[in-house]
């Protein structure tokens, strides 16, 4: 079976408009989270991260399109254009397109929006991207709560293995919107300070927005310095609750176990874990239980939510790309916001950015509805 790789990539977030800039900020332990006072989004000031829309507008104008796109569409077009251009791949029938999002253009449903309500349909994103870049094949939209970003990588890998495509472009994104903020607030999940994953004094999540794009390919001619091979992947649903994870970590335990089986690795082969780490009481505890069941308690682990909050459907892809750069630089990035361990099982949280030889990392994500997804990725450099 042919090998599948993650290659050219792009991140747009509060920390910058390209992957290298974002990774540099994280290496310097700089957070893009701030106190936001915008009553069009939320009735009270809240901690979160948003992309600078003035810079976005200036950069988007370089695409020289006269179409009237939503903010999310502009971000996706800008991010994906960088990856397509850098890869120099000709768009033909061997090239697929996947869009990963949790809420898509949900903001157009607000009564102040100037866009038609029909733009909220997720298929709209597929139509926009396909038409702009002239994809020859039907785009696929993956929307499965907060595992969408890395689940899309799994889907792309399987499509390549089935010889449906030779290359797949993946773009993933969600916005900070009134709908999302009010929803998480109704769960009493929003933190009144910068989030602190796995910490004793954690009080909830920060919502952030980010867009990420990546090339998934079977052709080694299109690899980059930070490229990784997808060794194994799996998704399981714990079927516990619409918003609460299994207290035993069963879904996460099973999907990581399945990914490890496919990759033929043991806990001793994994150099670090890029975990979900939302800083909510139940998520962090569930992960700690699952990781200990997997004998991962001594593997260095971080959550990147302290840098740009929880970016929903894009979080898994954004954090995967940062993990790729972590392997390239042989650097473990500080789990920003961590103070003292606040879960019932031991974890080796990365408390300071440091150099360490790295080869294989595990990326996990968990989401509403009981979804759990895991990827095992190996450096090819």
Q: 231, 262, 233: which is closest to 379 by C-alpha?
A: 231
pLDDT digits (tens, 9 = 90+) for 153-212: 999 999 999 999 999 999 999 999 999 999 999 988 999 999 999 999 999 999 999 999
Residues in a beta bridge with 274: 302, 363
- pLDDT, residue 244, reads 78
pTM of the model: 0.97
- DSSP-assigned letter for residue 327: H
pLDDT of residue 243: 75
Q: What is the pLDDT of residue 277?
A: 97
For 374, counting Cβ atoms within 10 Å of its Cβ (0-12 exposed, 13-18 middle, 19+ buried), the class is buried
**Per-residue confidence (pLDDT) for residue 80, from 0 to 100:** 98
Give the angle 340-355-48 at the CA atoms, nearest 5°.
50
Q: Given CA atoms 203, 204, 207, 212 in this order, what sign does their dihedral have?
A: positive
* Structure letter (DSSP) for residue 240: S
Closest CA to 299 of 328, 273, 322: 273
Residue 80, burial from CB neighbour count under 10 angstroms (0-12, 13-18, 19+): buried
Radius of gyration of the chain (CA): 19
Which residue's structure tokens are 């609460």? 244
Q: Going residue by residue through the chain, which has 381 residues, state the pLDDT in tens, using 9 for 90 and above.
A: 789 999 999 999 999 999 999 999 999 999 999 999 999 999 999 999 999 999 999 999 888 887 899 999 999 999 999 999 999 999 999 999 999 999 999 999 999 999 999 999 999 999 999 999 999 999 999 999 999 999 999 999 999 999 999 999 999 999 999 999 999 999 889 999 999 999 999 999 999 999 999 999 999 999 999 999 999 999 999 888 877 788 899 999 999 999 999 999 999 999 999 999 999 999 999 999 999 999 999 999 999 999 999 999 999 999 999 999 999 999 999 999 999 999 999 999 999 999 999 999 999 999 988 999 999 999 997
pLDDT of residue 63: 86
**210 three-class SS:** strand
The predicted pLDDT at position 238 comes to: 87
The dihedral over CA atoms of 170, 171, 172, 178, expressed in degrees to the nearest 10, equals -150
Set out the domains of the chain in order of their start, with CATH numbers: 5-222 (3.40.47.10), 231-379 (3.40.47.10)
Structure tokens at 352: 């300071």
Tokens of 250: 């069963």
CA atoms of 230 and 235, how far apart (whole Å): 14
Please give the Cα distance from 171 to 88 (Å, whole number): 17
Contacts of 84 by beta carbon, 8 Å cutoff, 6+ apart: 91, 133, 169
Query: Residue 109 in contact with residue 120, Cβ under 8 Å?
Result: yes
**Per-residue model confidence (pLDDT) at position 187:** 85
> How many whole angstroms separate alpha carbon 368 and alpha carbon 374?
15
């Amino acid at each position: 079976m042919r090998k599948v790789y993650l290659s050219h990539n792009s991140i747009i977030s509060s920390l910058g408009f390209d992957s290298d800039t974002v990774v540099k900020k994280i290496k310097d332990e700089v957070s893009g989270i701030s106190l936001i006072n915008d009553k069009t989004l939320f009735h009270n000031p809240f901690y979160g991260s948003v992309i600078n829309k003035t810079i976005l507008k200036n950069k988007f104008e370089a695409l020289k399109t006269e179409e009237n796109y939503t903010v999310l569409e502009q971000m996706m077009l800008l991010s994906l254009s960088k990856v397509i251009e850098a890869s120099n791949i000709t768009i033909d029938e061997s090239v697929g397109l996947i869009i990963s999002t949790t809420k898509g253009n949900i903001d157009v449903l607000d009564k102040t929006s100037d866009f038609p309500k029909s733009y909220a349909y997720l298929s709209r994103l597929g139509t926009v991207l396909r038409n702009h870049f002239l994809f020859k094949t039907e785009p696929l939209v993956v929307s499965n709560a907060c595992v969408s970003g890395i689940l899309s990588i799994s889907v792309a890998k399987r499509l390549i293995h089935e010889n449906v495509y030779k290359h797949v472009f993946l773009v993933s994104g969600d916005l900070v919107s009134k709908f999302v903020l009010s929803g998480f607030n109704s769960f009493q999940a929003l933190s009144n300070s910068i989030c602190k994953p796995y910490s004793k004094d954690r009080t909830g999540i920060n919502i952030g927005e980010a867009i990420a794009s990546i090339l998934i390919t079977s052709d080694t001619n299109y690899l980059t310095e930070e490229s990784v091979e997808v060794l194994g992947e799996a998704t399981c649903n714990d079927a516990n609750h619409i918003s609460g994870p299994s207290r035993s970590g069963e879904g996460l335990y099973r999907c990581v176990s399945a990914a490890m089986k496919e990759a033929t690795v043991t806990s001793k082969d994994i150099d670090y874990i890029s975990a979900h780490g939302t800083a909510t009481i139940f998520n962090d505890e569930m992960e700690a239980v699952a990781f200990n069941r997997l004998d991962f308690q001594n593997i260095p682990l971080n959550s990147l939510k302290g840098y740009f909050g929880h970016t929903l459907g894009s979080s898994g892809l954004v954090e995967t790309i940062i993990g790729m750069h972590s392997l390239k630089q042989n650097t473990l990035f500080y789990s920003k916001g961590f103070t003292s361990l606040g879960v019932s099982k031991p974890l080796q949280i990365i408390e300071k950015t440091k150099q360490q030889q790295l080869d294989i990392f595990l990326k996990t994500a968990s989401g509403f509805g009981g979804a759990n997804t895991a990827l095992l990725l190996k450096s090819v450099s």
